[in-house]
Structure 1
Amino acid sequence: MSYQFEPAELYRMPTHFGPATGPRRGPDGQRFACKDTPKTTAISVSFLSRQEQLSALLPPGFSLGAEPVVTVTATYMKEIEWLAGRGYNMLGVTIPAIYHGKAGLTAGSFLLVLWENLTEPIITGREELGYSKIFADLPEPVTRNDELHCAANWDGFRFMDLSVGQLQPLSAEQITGNAVAAKSAGTLHYKYMPRTGEPGRADVQYAVLTPIAVPNRVVTSMSRGQGKLQFHLARWEDMPTQYMIVNALHALDVLEYRGATVSHTVGGKDLSDMQILLAPEGPATSL
């Protein structure tokens, strides 16, 4: 006799071994508090680019918001509860965007791509949440000549370099002021899952929001400085499934840099507060 799916339980492939564990379900079905972990270092560099270049990267229902500023963030997390104390690293690229949905306008940072160096968060984030996650090797940052240097590689090909220097610590008041000044609903995404055997059709296709609130996150320190970055032109032979992503980012004009930040935080959330944003014409597309 075949197995039956248990109502309200979390599954992902392979489903044959029962409900899955991950960021939103522990080994006994419990949730993770994310109160004292993870411990996170985030290094961000922003630059002004061209409106027409960024608008061309937005999916249906989105328009560019505010200034055409690209932010690239390298994030290093440790002591993650759902990984039994292990950690992983991320590299994300965001631009300001507005989603024109059934409930009105939703402004936030649209996540163009998020590289991670571990399979489990990639799978859970893509399938369960709708994050545009893919794999890369993301070594820990190194310090040279009073600058922080970050890099990203895929199978030996180095496709990004980022550096931050001239860092000055911010006061608690400045950190709070930065948070208050952020007029954003959160991070916007576009979830897309192709339909098996039918090229050009989707099983799932809709906009998603990660609400900005992270009640358990505490900023322990933050510094502001100057940064620079470069995405390196890739051949198909260098990155057979990602070269078009890297080359699109490489082609973005850097009109001027808009500063850099380094932040250290403790705590987070399990992202179970994700929201589907309905399209104006009705429910999200799901076949």
Structure 2
Amino acid sequence: MEVKMFKFEEDKTYSMPPFFGGTVFDAKLTATADILSLNFTMNTDDKTLNKFLPKGFELLKPELTISLCQLRACNWFVGGGYNLIQVQVPARFNGKHDQLEGVFPLVIWENNTIPIIGGREQSGQPKIFADIQDLHSYNNKYFTNASIFGETFLRLEMSDIKFWEKGKLEKAKAAGPIPNNVFGWRYIPKVDGPGAALNEPILYPQSTSIINGCCAKGSVEWIPNKKNVYNYIIKQLADLPVHGNISVNSVAGTVFMNALKGRVLR
């Protein structure tokens, strides 16, 4: 009697563990969520930022943005939600076939493993886990923190909030979903030695519809700690100089994440 074995089907896409079946690939499927994002932007040292970017990418300006995002009512998440902190730089990809401007995430912390797994495997997003508090408010200040094993490694605070003027807000609403080219890099190490089994730049298209926005002053505090398993990342970010004040641009709306419309950049 022939034993039926598992096999991969060409018209399906799989995620780990793949042995229970895949789904038919449909590029029209879009992940959506209600989003509140606080984007802390600072001017810093371009030489140091350039050291983080892989070949093919160009730093557009010496600017680092740390974004706290609260995602809720996620359509792929049974209506649930999660928090993330994304550290990114503005960048341009200069390839043989693709020339695009967008943002290059250096690291993304998330407080749920489900989006971490998909984002890493499929879209090359540099996602790792952390406990990230919901946004809290007191005396017209908004704040949160991120920790690992109970040790806080980042504190964010927004103050002196000024909501957008009516004209600016109406213009943003009328614009509809604002496209955002999010870059990624899929790196899978070899099993039997140094080097990569997979090593390629990725485009992960996203867009955001805005329903409200404000600007504010920001405070960012990195807390290096040798007990933190990601201290080698935190220490390098903490060592970046900050030139001038930290500004915050905050928006609320709907985010559209088109992972299945992503592609390898050439």
Q: 155-164 vs 250-259, which deviates more?
A: 250-259
Matched, 1:50 2:45: yes
Instruction: Give the structure with the larger strand fraction.
Output: 2
Aligned residues: 260
Match of 2:97 in 1: 103
Please report how far the alpha carbon of residue 270 of structure 1 lies from its aligned counterpart in structure 2 after TM superposition. Answer: 3.8
Assess if the C-alpha contact under 8 Å between 1:48 and 1:70 holds in 2.
yes
Q: RMSD across aligned C-alpha pairs, in angstroms?
A: 2.5
Q: Which TM-score applies when normalising by structure 1? A: 0.83
| Distance in 1 separating the partners of 2:193 and 2:145 | 37
Q: Percent identity, please.
A: 25
Please report how far the alpha carbon of residue 144 of structure 1 lies from its aligned counterpart in structure 2 after TM superposition. Answer: 1.9
| Distance in 1 separating the partners of 2:58 and 2:29 | 35
Please report how far the alpha carbon of residue 269 of structure 1 lies from its aligned counterpart in structure 2 after TM superposition. Answer: 3.1
Q: Which TM-score applies when normalising by structure 2? A: 0.89
| Distance in 2 separating the partners of 1:85 and 1:187 | 24
Please report how far the alpha carbon of residue 172 of structure 1 lies from its aligned counterpart in structure 2 after TM superposition. Answer: 5.1
Q: Give the letter for the 1:64 counterpart.
A: L
Q: 113-122 vs 260-269, which deviates more?
A: 260-269
Match of 1:281 in 2: none
Match of 1:15 in 2: 18
Q: Give the letter for the 1:13 counterpart.
A: M
Please report how far the alpha carbon of residue 32 of structure 1 lies from its aligned counterpart in structure 2 after TM superposition. Answer: 5.0
Please report how far the alpha carbon of residue 257 of structure 1 lies from its aligned counterpart in structure 2 after TM superposition. Answer: 2.4
Q: Give the letter for the 1:219 counterpart.
A: I
Matched, 1:208 2:202: yes
Aligned counterpart in structure 2 of residue 166 of structure 1, from 160, 164, 176: 160
| Distance in 2 separating the partners of 1:179 and 1:136 | 36
Q: Give the letter for the 1:265 counterpart.
A: G
Q: Secondary structure at the match of 1:160?
A: strand
Match of 1:284 in 2: none
| Distance in 1 separating the partners of 2:174 and 2:218 | 21
Aligned counterpart in structure 1 of residue 237 of structure 2, from 246, 249, 263: 249
| Distance in 2 separating the partners of 1:119 and 1:171 | 38
Query: Mind listing any 5+ residue stretches in structure 2 that lack a counterpart?
Result: none
Please report how far the alpha carbon of residue 8 of structure 1 lies from its aligned counterpart in structure 2 after TM superposition. Answer: 1.8
Match of 2:141 in 1: 147
Assess if the C-alpha contact under 8 Å between 2:42 and 2:244 holds in 1.
yes
- Structure 1 segments of 4 or more deviating over 6 A? 177-180
Please report how far the alpha carbon of residue 150 of structure 1 lies from its aligned counterpart in structure 2 after TM superposition. Answer: 1.5
| Distance in 1 separating the partners of 2:67 and 2:253 | 14
Q: Secondary structure at the match of 1:210?
A: strand
Please report how far the alpha carbon of residue 264 of structure 1 lies from its aligned counterpart in structure 2 after TM superposition. Answer: 0.9
Query: Mind listing any 5+ residue stretches in structure 1 that lack a counterpart?
Result: 279-287
Deviations 1:9-59 (A, max 9, x none): 121222221126xxx98xxx897555xx52111011110001111111111
| Distance in 2 separating the partners of 1:84 and 1:177 | 29
Match of 2:59 in 1: 64
Q: How does 1:229-244 map to 2 (within 5 A)?
A: 229-235=220-226, 238-240=227-229, 242-244=230-232
Q: Give the letter for the 1:249 counterpart.
A: L
Match of 1:137 in 2: 131
Match of 1:220 in 2: 211
| Distance in 2 separating the partners of 1:232 and 1:252 | 13
Matched, 1:194 2:185: no
Aligned counterpart in structure 2 of residue 94 of structure 1, from 73, 85, 88: 88
Q: Give the letter for the 2:35 counterpart.
A: T
| Distance in 2 separating the partners of 1:140 and 1:233 | 22
Deviations 1:97-120 (A, max 9, x none): 222211253222111011111111
| Distance in 2 separating the partners of 1:4 and 1:88 | 34
Please report how far the alpha carbon of residue 275 of structure 1 lies from its aligned counterpart in structure 2 after TM superposition. Answer: 2.2
Assess if the C-alpha contact under 8 Å between 2:98 and 2:265 holds in 1.
no
Q: Secondary structure at the match of 2:192?
A: coil
Assess if the C-alpha contact under 8 Å between 2:219 and 2:246 holds in 1.
no
Assess if the C-alpha contact under 8 Å between 1:107 and 1:185 holds in 2.
no
Match of 1:116 in 2: 110
